[in-house]
Chains A and B, each alone.
Chain A
């Protein structure tokens, strides 16, 4: 079967891309989702805090997803559920395995929107067996919020990213005792508001600069040993402490799921672990676009939506033969940034470019400066910039159309911890 635009993944990224592709003139659009329903990870994120930018109200994850799912079903968009994409070629041939066996589709354009997966217990160096009771935080979230299965009664959480914090509150509300959230870094990688409303509200201790050194128990977790670490993350002698628990949740990070992208020879940036893209969200393979968590890990779904609309719109333009940019410049991250996306900007595109980045440290009252050939082309002041929050800045066509040299994005201001 032939499509103008094939969207792989039915999370918020895929949904926004599909809607936008359809609305911008891609006649035949489909979404392929391996799960039994659309919505992606949002279906298990039952807490509120989604949609402040998009809808100016605080929604829960499923409510945010429902708004986009409704919009998709209103349009003539084909939906394949319980269907997993297993192959993609650079000629945009898609092979998927579904209820009715193997299907083969061909797209004029393809949008990659497969999201990310959690790093596993193997990724952290902890002594001991991996007995029952060790879960990835996101897995535990799905079990509790969608299957109704409380994974444990006495819990230690390793990693203080937002998923870990949200799960600390969730398990407490369900009657479990969360004994501690253990974080190896000197600061949490989660949002301030989540430390406040998920930990402080319930007097759950956050142990910074601590690591889990050993998991005890052979068949089921019986406890963990934790210890303080120095600034090189080495254990400090004499600081070991035993905590008894039946469950250890790991919230140690997310990795974009790019196996399918790589089958089509899409090149991957080692910093973001997602594809190299230009300002139209096009990868280095013409007609293949990428957006959402498969491109880089987002903490705010509204930003996913914004970015994915760009991908969908341009996938439609590509399918219609209207995406013909020829002038590009590269974008570089300054010393204070972990990465910047896109890695390339099309100068001759009237839509301008949306720049996204993360900083390495915390800055108070900083200014973000964007240079081209050492000339300042845009600056924006912020009250605070933190690593856990991505920043997006839009560059209008007017700002970029006459640029010649490459772009560099950096932060000016005092580091503050």
Chain B
């Protein structure tokens, strides 16, 4: 079986083919090693970085942008969103600050992606 995979590791978006042969996976169509690794990951255990926002108390904005600091399994995206929607962070917040450790045991931390000052 041959699977077509669009590499998402950079904006070039190479079309990669992965063929399941007797000697393992035959991967073609990538431009760089990152793409080869991505294709292998994508057919064995697809993962994505999740970016979203969490509610904030006392901040200059009502919401804080966050991301998982590692890619998490694709089928965990919506479950993590439910978790994210329960969180209420408190300003001031610094970029990189951990908002939730090891979210849903994915091994990834949810971190802030901007500074958010306290409302005066």
Chain A interface residues toward B at CB < 8 A? 36, 43, 46-49, 52, 58, 60, 62-63, 65-66, 144-148, 173-175, 191-193, 195-197, 200-201, 299-300, 383-384, 389
Contacts and interface: CB of A to CB of B under 8 A. Distances in A.
16 contacts: A46-B51, A46-B65, A46-B67, A46-B113, A47-B51, A52-B10, A62-B65, A66-B95, A66-B114, A145-B65, A148-B62, A173-B52, A193-B8, A197-B48, A383-B12, A383-B14
A62 B67 CA distance: 11
A63 B113 contact: yes
Given A48-B67, A173-B81, A196-B6, A148 B55 contact: yes
A63 B66 CA distance: 10
A46 B12 contact: no
A14 to B, nearest CB: 18
Q: Main SS of chain B's interface residues?
A: loop
Given A193-B8, A195-B6, A383-B31, A145 B49 contact: no
Nearest to A196: B6
Contact of B6 (A43, A173, A192): A192
Contacts of B81: 173-175
Give the one of A146, A173, A174, A389 with max B CB within 10 A: A173
A173 B77 contact: yes
A298 B49 CA distance: 24
Q: How large is the interface on B (under 10, 10 to 19, 20 to 34, 35 or more residues)?
A: 20 to 34
B95 A300 contact: no
Interface in B10-39: 10-15, 31
Given A62-B65, A145-B63, A193 B95 contact: no
A175 B82 CA distance: 9
A58 B49 contact: yes
A383 B48 CA distance: 26
A145 B61 CA distance: 10
A272 B13 CA distance: 25
Interface in B31-80: 31, 48-53, 55, 60-63, 65, 67, 74, 77-78
Nearest to A52: B10
B11 A197 contact: no
A63 B94 CA distance: 11
A196 B113 contact: no
A52 B10 CA distance: 7
Contact of A193 (B7, B31, B53): B7
B10 A192 contact: no
Given A62-B114, A66-B114, 8 more contacts: A36-B60, A46-B65, A46-B67, A48-B51, A63-B114, A148-B55, A173-B77, A173-B78
